[in-house]
Amino acid sequence: MRLSSGKRRILVAEDEYINRELLKNILDDEYDIIEAEDGETAYELISQNRKTLSLILLDLNMPKLTGLELLPRIKEDPDTKGIPIIVLTSDQESEVESLNKGASDFIPKPYPQPDVIKARISRSIELAEDRQIITATERDALTGLYTREYFYRYGEQFDKYHPSTDMDALCFDVDHFHVLNERFGMAKGDEILKKIACCLTSVFSDQDCVVCRKIADTFLVYCHHHDDYTEMVEKIMASCSELATTIKLRLGVYASCDKKIDIQVRFARAKIAADKIRNNYSVYVSTYDEELLEKELFNEQLVDEFPKALEERQFKVFFQPKYDVRGDKPVLSSAEALVRWFHPAIGMISPGKFIPLFEEDGLIAQLDEYIWRSTAEQIADWKKRLGISVPVSVNLSRAEMYDPNLVDTFERIVEESGITKKDIYLEITESAYVSDADQIVGRVKELRDHGFFIEMDDFGSGYSSLNMISELPIDALKLDMKFIRNAFDKHNDTRMISIVIDIAEYLGVPVIAEGVETEEQYLALKKLGCTIIQGYYFSKPVPADEFIKILKEGEN
């Protein structure tokens, strides 16, 4: 480190006055020199100047504390171990010992030519400063673990020298780490990450392995093969849970790595395995296998072919009718637009396979706008050809609720297609309201203020409070399909559904039940006071040309 004078500081620890003066005369023009005549004084000066010292010239034969005694003290102290040390000695045997104890170089006595001394000092300082720069980029500032780039490099180096060693690639993730940050604060979150790093270092300390913090709450370990990691993960979670509430770790394992595969791909496979058990609180460890590989390749294919599928209109909108059941006879009241992908080679792909994938890859907004526009065009076509108009609801993902241009987008769709705002309903999942409630509620109010009808979808899955529900801007409550199935599966215990219907009556909005499959469910829901029913009991989702029959029947 350079001082304000522009010079680097050197400590000359030498008990002979003449030798100190000689070195000072050689170095004084280029360096700021401080002196010590014995080992204890040298140790004090090192402690006082640990942040500014660039080098120590250390005589091995000093009073009070010899150079060989002082060397390990300097190298064992984290604050001083990085300072390069050149020993000054005439004892060749001591040269080897001092190098083994951490010295960077030695200068023999009697001293060589000044240019030789300067060259050795300059080179030692340069190497030490280069090491400091490397260390700063090599280690994660928070945890002290390797950074991703160096981790991969050291892993490759390990493979080079241990080609036959059976190795596992491990990926540790913390479930919902952002929630921990929100609940306990960033400082506590950092403390948890440091604790995980400490546990990983401790657990794998007895073997050759490399550990890194890849990013945020993701940690990677390259280690010898183990048959079972469950106990290890439970031990780490128990240790970390002392700092906060229960912490759930997910471990993805790519076991017995194929070393012909790029090391980054190995850990990508471990990450795939870890993601497989996201939100599964009963399983901590997941192992990568061929099935996961096939799924990953399939997902990559879907993502790659998405633009072409949009362009060729491979995505088709299906419609599932909703019936008002308050009267003696069910009456068609509206429908829901649902997407299906008809791939030219694969055939029909279930939305359960591509919707979560596109949400994760950020493609869902493009797909949703395609569905909105296709639905609006179909509504306009029915009105023009048949003179029949039934409102159709379309789904909005949580990500789209953050779009400041969302209202303008729907205004354009309505205007360009020639339909009215009463023709298209907007379904927003309950979980969207629960997350970032103020911003989402503000966006929904904006949509309603512009005349759009809002349905809260999947009610019963998002755990919103009763107080929150009373303040939400909605026009209808739609019960979650699993909520209904569970109610009828458990000895027809429909008390919770009855409570929700009472809440809807209090709010003055209708209740929509989706996923109704049997006459028993239909009659029970009708008796409880459910307003609108949707499900296979009436009709599965059908393509537009088949839905025309349902429209015409509804007119009769």
3-state secondary structure at position 531 = coil
Cα–Cα distance, 515 to 535 (Å, whole number): 4
Q: Which amino acid is at 95?
A: E
Neighbours of 329 (CB within 10 A): 7
Give the class (CATH, top level) of 148-288: alpha beta
Cα–Cα distance, 356 to 219 (Å, whole number): 24
Cα–Cα distance, 137 to 148 (Å, whole number): 10
Q: Please work out, in degrees rounded to the nearest 5, the angle formed at the alpha carbon of residue 420 by the alpha carbons of 514 and 549.
A: 50
Place of tokens 């030219």: 344
Strand pairing partners for 476?
A: 455
Neighbours of 281 (CB within 10 A): 10
pLDDT of the residue at 321: 96
Cα–Cα distance, 14 to 20 (Å, whole number): 6
pLDDT of the residue at 204: 84
Cα–Cα distance, 419 to 404 (Å, whole number): 23
Give the class (CATH, top level) of 8-137: alpha beta
CA 148 and chain centroid, separation: 15
Instruction: Give the pLDDT of the chain (556 residues) as one tens digit per residue.
Output: 556 667 889 999 998 899 889 999 999 888 999 999 998 999 999 999 988 899 999 998 889 988 889 998 998 888 888 899 999 887 777 778 888 888 888 888 888 898 988 999 999 888 888 777 666 677 888 888 888 888 998 899 888 888 889 999 999 998 878 777 777 778 888 888 888 888 888 888 766 788 999 888 999 999 999 988 988 888 888 887 777 666 788 999 999 999 999 999 999 999 989 988 887 777 889 999 878 778 877 888 899 999 999 999 999 999 999 999 998 899 999 999 999 999 998 899 989 889 988 888 889 999 999 999 999 999 999 999 888 889 999 999 878 888 889 999 999 999 999 999 999 999 987 666 655 567 778 888 999 999 999 998 877 655 554 556 666 788 998 887 777 777 777 566 778 788 888 888 888 889 999 989 989 889 988 998 899 999 999 999 999 999 999 998 876 6
Place of tokens 């537009």: 544
Token representation of residue 435: 């997350």
Nearest Cα to Cα of residue 82 among 153, 167, 139: 139
pLDDT of the residue at 461: 56
pLDDT of the residue at 322: 95
Strand pairing partners for 170?
A: 221, 253
Where exactly are the structural domains of the chain?
A: 8-137, 148-288, 315-548
Judged on CB neighbours under 10 Å (0-12, 13-18, 19+), 328 is: exposed
CATH fold group of domain 315-548:
TIM Barrel (3.20.20)
Q: What are phi and psi of 517, to 5 degrees?
A: -120, -20
Is the whole-model pTM more than 0.85? no
pLDDT of the residue at 382: 93
Asked if 191 and 243 count as a contact pair (C-beta separation under 8 A), the reply is yes
Token representation of residue 340: 């299906």
Helix axes 114-138, 148-161, angle to 10 degrees: 110
pLDDT of the residue at 377: 95
Cα–Cα distance, 402 to 360 (Å, whole number): 16
